[in-house]
Amino acid sequence: MSDTPIDLDALRSRIDDLDSQLLMLMNERAQCAQQVAQVKTAEDAGAVFYRPEREAQVLRRIMALNKGPLDSEEVARLFREIMSACLALEQPIKVAYLGPEGTFTQQATLKHFGESAISLPMAAIDEVFREVEAGAVNYGVVPVENSTEGVINHTLDSFIDSGLRICGEVVLRIHHHLLVGETTRRDKVSRIYSHPQSFAQCRKWLDAHYPQAERVPVSSNAEAARLVKTEWHSAAIAGDMSAKLYGLTRLAEKIEDRPDNSTRFLIIGNQDVPMSGDDKTSIVVAMRNQPGALHDLLEPFHRHQIDMTRLETRPSRSGVWNYVFFIDFKGHHEEPRVAAVLEEVRLRAAEVKVLGSYPVGVL
Ligand SMILES: O=C(O)C(=O)C[C@]1(C(=O)O)C=C[C@@H](O)C=C1
């Protein structure tokens, strides 16, 4: 510790100087983005302004450069917002998400696109797909799997009939709280509202702390929070966004059974995303129903040492094939090693659809 007394005025004046520089630099950056937009428009009348691979590279570079004391995740979050504002200057983008407002999907949307994107809540996963397909919005955000409860079948099934591509992923740590309103009698909670997935993620905690309370499943956590506002004997299991939206407080916090409880969301659009340097690919494969089909499908991945991150089986909806497999693996479809595997899989499968290659979630 230095003996020199800290001069508050001097420090604040230094902060003012730094803020002026930051302001100037941020606007200089925004002007660059505007010029980027001009270049994109000159090259192509139907230019795509949002570039997921570039955004991932910007954030990864900043995190690698960061020497603190600010935490790298915090720094990335700040740059996420700067880029979001820059993109809005190029073209304000519209994103549909599985609503209502206050859900974890809204939180994932903000985490991925930042506050400057225009985000619109939809009532169902199909509607998110439909809005993007119809061109009413540029992108969509849907949940696809939870680390405790597994896959969201509805999202996987929607990909079978859709021509949309996966442009990105975002992983969100899910913290559930037991929330109450101003009028709730905290010692008299006899009914708890939540989404079935959230009940499943907090099952042990509920059995231990509220074994007698009636568990009422509703369509979303946000809906649970809304209902609680007017009922003196009820509580909701939901996250911070719902709590804030409906002015509820936490009676118990982080009640999820597994501390690493997280949900993965996909960004859907019409774009083929170039390589970012750290990518994933998702495919859906229909196999003929014959012995050894699954082994035949997986063997090329093993031989080419491709890291498979997920394998899901779903019944085929067409009735022609018995199963379809959803496979996620590391790598981009333009990488020679990945292209070789895809070629082999195409020879062995009845049908293969590449849903997209996209940057591994950064934040
Ligand atoms: O590099 C680009 O293509 C830009 O448009 C600039 C920028 C940025 O602000 O850095 C903005 C939006 C894109 O999604 C990616 C990056």
Between the CA of 144 and the centroid of ligand 1 the distance, in Å, is 26
pLDDT per position as a tens digit, 281-324: 999 999 877 888 889 999 999 999 999 999 999 888 766 557 89
Q: Is the CB of 246 under 6 A from ligand 1?
A: no
Q: Is the pLDDT higher at 162 or at 289?
A: 162
Q: What percent of the chain has pLDDT over 90?
A: 85
What is the Cα–Cα distance from 358 to 266, expressed in whole angstroms? Answer: 10
Between the CA of 163 and the centroid of ligand 1 the distance, in Å, is 26
What is the Cα–Cα distance from 111 to 315, expressed in whole angstroms? Answer: 33
Q: Is the pLDDT higher at 5 or at 110?
A: 110
- Which residues touch 45 (CB under 8 Å, ≥6 apart)? none
Closest residue by CA, ligand 1 atom 10: 83
49, 199, 265, 329: the active-site residue = 265
Which residue carries 């035949």 as its tokens? 296
Instruction: Provide the 10 A C-beta neighbour count for residue 186.
Output: 10
Return the pLDDT at 319: 64
Return the pLDDT at 321: 54
Measure Cα distances from 230 to 80, 88, 177, 180 in Å: 37, 38, 18, 10
- For this complex, say whether ipTM is above 0.90: yes
Q: Is the CB of 33 under 6 A from ligand 1?
A: yes
Measure Cα distances from 232 to 51, 130, 224, 265 in Å: 48, 39, 14, 34
Ligand 1: residue of 51, 59, 60, 78 to mutate (most ligand atoms within 8 A of CB) is 51
Closest residue by CA, ligand 1 atom 1: 54
Half-sphere exposure in the Cβ direction for 335 (13 Å, CA): 18
Indicate the pLDDT class of residue 176, thresholds 50, 70 and 90.
very high
Helical ranges in the chain per DSSP H: 8-43, 52-65, 72-90, 104-113, 125-133, 153-161, 196-201, 203-209, 221-228, 240-246, 293-303, 336-348
User: How long is the chain?
Assistant: 363
Widest CA span of the chain, in angstroms? 80
| Residue 41 scores a pLDDT above 80 | yes
pLDDT per position as a tens digit, 185-215: 888 999 999 999 999 999 999 999 999 999 9
Q: What is the mean pLDDT of residues 97-111?
A: 95
Nearest to 87 by CA among 116, 124, 122: 116
Q: Is 263 known to be catalytic? A: yes
- The ligand 1 atom at the shortest distance from the C-alpha of residue 90 is 5
- Which residues touch 84 (CB under 8 Å, ≥6 apart)? 113, 114, 115, 116, 117
Q: Looking at the whole model, is its pTM more than 0.90?
A: yes
Return the pLDDT at 3: 60
- The ligand 1 atom at the shortest distance from the C-alpha of residue 82 is 9
Return the pLDDT at 2: 53
pLDDT per position as a tens digit, 233-253: 999 999 999 999 999 999 999
Which residue carries 């007394």 as its tokens? 5
Ligand 1: residue of 29, 53, 90, 271 to mutate (most ligand atoms within 8 A of CB) is 90
Q: What is the mean pLDDT of residues 338-354?
A: 95
Return the pLDDT at 106: 96
- Which residues touch 134 (CB under 8 Å, ≥6 apart)? none
- Which residues touch 169 (CB under 8 Å, ≥6 apart)? 264, 265, 266, 267, 280, 358, 359, 360, 361
Q: Is the CB of 279 under 6 A from ligand 1?
A: no
Measure Cα distances from 338 to 53, 94, 309, 311, 346 in Å: 18, 32, 14, 17, 12
| Stretch among 30-34, 219-223, 320-324 having the lowest mean pLDDT | 320-324
- The ligand 1 atom at the shortest distance from the C-alpha of residue 52 is 14
Q: Is the CB of 55 under 6 A from ligand 1?
A: yes
| Residue 68 scores a pLDDT above 70 | yes
* 3-class secondary-structure state, position 171: strand
Nearest to 165 by CA among 129, 193, 198: 129
